[in-house]
């Protein structure tokens, strides 16, 4: 099994280093240290994600008659349809997590998906799940930094990214690299984490929401939707569609519902505030009796801080995790 890169020696010192990057460093330091920041975050958080969320590490708008997982899969199908994926196409998944979306989209569309991820632990898990589900003829995964794509020019028929480019230190550079690796005329679609027009930098509550989302989710600096639009254009794409999908679905079941106490069902417990408090108490006990490494409860605490801030970002409408875009590399 792949080692978590940054947790070989001491879990606690990795946790402290991660917190230090957020609490004692400025944005520029976080942006230049993005590989360390993001990898440390995912080394620490992946197991918590899989327990609380499953293998699809993203949000989705939801209809009130839909289950949690059903809504995640529908959100992925929206990309698959927008990109018109079909057998014979080769598609890049940028920042693929443990490969839940890649496996689902490959199974549905018959397209071949290559997932890249800079976190070795997640890549190993993605490969294991693909072998287990006998999908390794359709999906493959590589450990690579999406800022330095290891692919030849004009290789891919389509590209998608789900809630991953928010980790990039420079979106224009990321999008330029993707543009280079796409065939002329190819489509690129994604969901972006962004601040919205309702975000007011002079409001301390809004600033706290932003900061807590960043620390709880391994982000160097959250950007406004207009930054994404400009970066796509600057990279040479023709913008076909953009839309904040946070308002889709039923008003009773907003995208952040899974992180609130209103979600029903026992399986939802680890994501809800009560479940998260219980997990935190359990991790403290496990640390005490040496069943978990020192620092585990700190991870659970900053994930909780991030989760509460996501709910606040959703309720105030200052933040969206689903700014959808569809763009084309000119033919």
Kindly list the residues in this chain that would bind ligand SAM in the complex (CB under 6 A).
38, 42, 56-58, 95-97, 100-101, 116-119, 122, 145-147, 162-164, 167
Instruction: In angstroms, give the least distance from the CB of 204 to ligand SAM.
Output: 27
Contact 258, 68 (CB under 8 A): yes
At closest approach, how far in Å is the CB of 31 from ligand SAM? 12
Shortest distance, CB of residue 84 to ligand SAM, whole angstroms? 20
Question: Alpha-carbon distance 169 to 149, whole Å?
Answer: 15
Query: Smallest distance, Å, CB 101 to ligand SAM?
Result: 5
> Closest distance between ligand SAM and the C-beta of residue 265, in Å?
21
By beta-carbon proximity to ligand SAM, the closer residue of 231 and 287 is 231
Give whichever of 46 and 296 is closer to ligand SAM, judged by the CB atom: 46
Q: Hey, CA dihedral for 203, 260, 215, 147, is it positive or negative? A: negative
Decide whether 190 or 254 has the Cβ nearer to ligand SAM.
190
Sheet holding 156-162, edge to edge: 139-143, 112-117, 90-94, 156-162, 182-195, 319-328, 238-244
Question: Considering beta carbons, is residue 58 or 276 the nearer one to ligand SAM?
Answer: 58
CB closer to ligand SAM, 118 vs 297 = 118
Strands 238-244 and 319-328: antiparallel
C-beta closer to ligand SAM: residue 75 or 206 = 75
DSSP characters for 265-320?
Answer: SGGGGGGSHHHHHHHHHHHHHHHHTTSS-TTHHHHHHHHHHHHHHHHHHHHHTSEE
Q: What DSSP assignment string belongs to 85-154?
A: --TT-EEEEES-TTSHHHHHHHHHH--EEEEEES-HHHHHHHHHHHHHTT-TTTEEEEE--TTS--S-TT
d(CA 212, CA 190) in angstroms, rounded, equals: 24
The pair of structure tokens assigned to 304 is 């909780």
Instruction: Compute the least distance from the CB of residue 310 to ligand SAM, in Å.
Output: 12
Alpha-carbon distance of 180 to 154, in angstroms, equals: 6
Q: How far is the CB of 121 from ligand SAM (least distance, A)?
A: 9
Q: Minimal CA–CA distance to 88: which of 183, 174, 153, 163?
A: 183
Q: Please state the closest distance from residue 242 (CB atom) to ligand SAM, in A.
A: 19
CA angle 315, 320, 322 (to 5 degrees): 135
Kindly tell me which of 100 and 295 has the beta carbon lying closer to ligand SAM: 100
CA distance 138 to 105: 10
Place of tokens 């939801």: 62
Identify which of residues 126 and 312 has a Cβ nearer to ligand SAM in the complex: 126
State in angstroms the smallest separation of the CB of 2 from ligand SAM. 13
| Cβ distance to ligand SAM smaller for residue 56 or 206 | 56
């Amino acid at each position: 099994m792949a080692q978590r890169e940054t947790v070989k020696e001491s879990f606690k010192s990795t946790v402290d280093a991660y917190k230090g990057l957020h609490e004692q460093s400025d944005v520029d330091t976080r942006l230049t240290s993005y590989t360390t920041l993001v990898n440390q975050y995912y080394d620490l958080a992946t197991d918590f994600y899989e327990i609380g969320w499953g293998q699809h590490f993203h949000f989705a708008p939801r209809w009130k008659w839909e289950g949690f997982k059903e809504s995640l899969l529908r959100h992925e199908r929206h990309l698959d349809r927008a990109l018109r994926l079909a057998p014979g196409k080769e598609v890049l998944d940028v920042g693929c997590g443990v490969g839940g979306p890649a496996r689902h989209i490959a199974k549905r569309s018959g397209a071949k998906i290559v997932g890249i991820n800079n976190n070795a632990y997640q890549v190993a898990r993605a490969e294991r799940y693909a072998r287990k589900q006998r999908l390794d003829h359709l999906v493959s995964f590589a450990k690579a930094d999406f800022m330095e794509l290891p692919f030849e020019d004009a290789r891919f028929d389509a590209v998608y990214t789900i809630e991953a480019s928010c980790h990039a230190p420079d979106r224009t550079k990321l999008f330029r690299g993707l543009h280079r690796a796409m065939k002329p005329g190819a489509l690129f679609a994604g969901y972006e984490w962004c601040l919205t027009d309702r975000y007011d930098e002079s409001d301390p509550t809004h600033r706290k929401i932003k900061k807590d989302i960043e620390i709880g989710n391994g982000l160097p600096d959250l950007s406004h939707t207009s930054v994404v639009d400009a970066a796509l254009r600057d990279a040479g794409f023709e913008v076909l569609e953009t839309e904040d999908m946070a308002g889709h679905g039923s008003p009773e079941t907003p995208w952040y519902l899974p992180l609130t106490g209103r979600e029903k069902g026992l399986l939802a417990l680890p994501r809800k505030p009560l479940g998260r408090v219980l997990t935190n108490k359990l991790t403290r006990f496990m640390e005490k009796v040496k069943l978990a490494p020192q620092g585990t409860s700190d991870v659970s605490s900053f994930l909780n801080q991030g989760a509460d801030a996501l709910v606040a970002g959703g309720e105030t409408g200052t933040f969206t995790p689903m700014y959808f875009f569809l763009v084309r590399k000119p033919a």
